[in-house]
């Protein structure tokens, strides 16, 4: 089971009752570790008893008195260690341990409940504009909602990535793009987002939906529109405007955007070219 899906239900779900053979509990997000920055996927990996013999060995000698089945299996594995730090990063685990200690059992449970409530709030507000995938029997989602945008290319000539880039003009770093389903946005609001912030995000998504409808009606050009041109940088705003749509509607799509002045500093890059052509930015060896 994916750790993120289980962690966001901490205090509510019991891994032992799920019946999984292996359970990897990521420390990112739920246990106070951000995505990136040193290995967010690290965390405890629990296995059922029948898989214990296949666990990697410890990189240090076992005590002579070790007699448990797990320790015996590891001893038999010899030097089959996969890491010199079998318990992960000491820095990361300390942060998560302190977070759990300070939150307590009731705090962890409350965080899960609020995260699930926030995700369902976003799903309900945006459902009339973007279909939501993977609802439960009661029409609800867990701690995240997946907005289906697989029809955008055929209907409007834009992609989920265009929506993600357009969100930058509204002051938002886009949610998870094309995972776990291609051409979708997975929104994980977590327990820390306030109601006004959730509304601000939903207002931005609803405004983007309005821009899609303007593309469909022909009011906005299918090839040159605010979504395909996003994000709009400060240099582009101050320079010569070459788009067929207005500068004002591109830069200030909602009143609060004008007040906050969200101007991305970097335009889009060619992701595929960057992935396929590694360029070293290190100083020359002579230096």
User: 143 and 48 in one domain?
Assistant: no
Range of the domain at 19: 3-112
| Token code pair at residue 133 | 């995938």
As beta bridge partners, residue 28 has: 33
- Grouping H, G, I as helix, E, B as strand and the rest as coil, residue 244 is coil
Query: Given the DSSP bridges, would you call strands 176-177 and 22-24 parallel, antiparallel or unpaired?
Result: unpaired
For residue 280, tell me if it sits in a domain: no
* 126 shares its domain with 94: no
CATH number at residue 189: 3.90.1150.10
Note whether residue 152 is domain-resident: yes
Task: Report the pLDDT averaged over residues 123-143.
Answer: 95
**Residue 4 in contact with residue 23, Cβ under 8 Å?**
no
Is pLDDT at 159 greater than 50 in this prediction? yes
- Is 132 found in the same domain as 45? no
- Domains in the chain, number: 2
Domain boundary among 112, 140, 168: 112
| pLDDT exceeds 90 at position 107 | yes
Q: What is the pLDDT of residue 70?
A: 60
Q: Cα-atom radius of gyration of the chain, to the nearest Å?
A: 24
Q: Is the pLDDT of residue 128 over 90?
A: yes
Predicted confidence (pLDDT) per residue in 34-61, tens digit: 765 555 567 778 888 888 878 776 666 5
Task: Please state, in angstroms and rounded to a whole number, the distance separating the CA atoms of residues 219 and 245.
Answer: 9
96 & 47 share domain: yes
Domain co-membership, 49 together with 128: no
* DSSP SS3 for 42: coil
Cα 284 to Cα 164: distance, rounded to the nearest angstrom: 36
Preceding peptide of 180 cis, ω within 30°? yes
pTM (two decimals)? 0.82
Whether 96 shows a pLDDT value over 80: the answer reads yes
Residues 184 and 241 in one domain: yes
Instruction: Mark whether 144 and 250 lie in a shared domain.
Output: yes
CA dihedral 81, 83, 86, 92 (to 10 degrees): -170
Which burial class, exposed, middle or buried, applies to 49 when counting CB atoms under 10 A from its CB (0-12, 13-18, 19+)?
exposed
Query: Which tops the pLDDT comparison, 62 or 98?
Result: 98
Q: What tokens appear for 1 in the block?
A: 């089971």
Residue 285 in domain: no
Q: Are 88 and 122 contained in the same domain?
A: no
> Are the CB atoms for 122 and 143 separated by under 8 Å?
no
Do 165 and 93 lie in a common domain?
no
Q: Give residue 242's pLDDT.
A: 92
**Where a domain ends, among 89, 112, 135?**
112
Q: Is 286 part of any domain?
A: no
Question: End of a domain among 112, 132, 161?
Answer: 112
Based on the fold, state whether residues 10 and 146 are members of the same structural domain. Answer: no
| Domain match, 129 and 259 both | yes
Residue 278 covered by a domain: no
Does the structure show a pLDDT above 90 at 113?
A: yes
Indicate whether 210 and 241 sit together in one domain.
Answer: yes
């Amino acid at each position: 089971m994916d750790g993120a899906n289980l962690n966001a239900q901490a205090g509510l779900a019991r891994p032992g009752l799920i019946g999984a053979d292996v359970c990897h509990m990521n420390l990112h997000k739920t246990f106070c570790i951000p995505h990136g920055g040193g290995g967010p996927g690290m965390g405890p990996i629990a296995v059922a008893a029948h898989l214990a013999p296949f666990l990697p060995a410890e990189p240090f000698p076992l005590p002579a008195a070790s007699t448990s089945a797990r320790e015996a299996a590891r001893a038999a594995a010899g030097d089959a260690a996969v890491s010199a730090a079998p318990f992960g990063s000491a820095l990361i685990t300390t942060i998560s341990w302190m977070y759990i200690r300070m939150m307590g059992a009731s705090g962890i449970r409350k965080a899960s409940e609020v995260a699930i409530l926030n995700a369902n709030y976003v799903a309900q507000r945006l459902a009339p504009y973007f279909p939501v995938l993977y609802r439960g029997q009661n029409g609800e989602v867990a701690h995240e909602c997946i907005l289906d945008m697989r029809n955008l290319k055929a209907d409007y000539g834009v992609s989920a990535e265009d929506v993600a880039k357009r969100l930058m003009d509204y002051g938002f770093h886009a949610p998870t793009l094309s995972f776990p389903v291609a051409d979708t946005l997975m929104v994980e609001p977590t327990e820390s987002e306030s109601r006004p912030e959730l509304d601000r995000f939903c207002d931005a998504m609803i405004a983007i939906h309005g821009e899609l409808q303007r593309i469909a009606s022909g009011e906005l050009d299918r090839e040159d529109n605010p979504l395909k041109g996003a994000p709009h940088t400060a240099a582009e705003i101050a320079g010569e405007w070459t788009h067929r749509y207005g500068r004002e509607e591109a830069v200030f799509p909602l009143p609060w955007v004008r007040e906050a002045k969200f101007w991305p500093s970097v335009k889009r890059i060619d992701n595929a070219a960057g992935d396929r052509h590694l360029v070293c930015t290190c100083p020359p060896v002579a230096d």
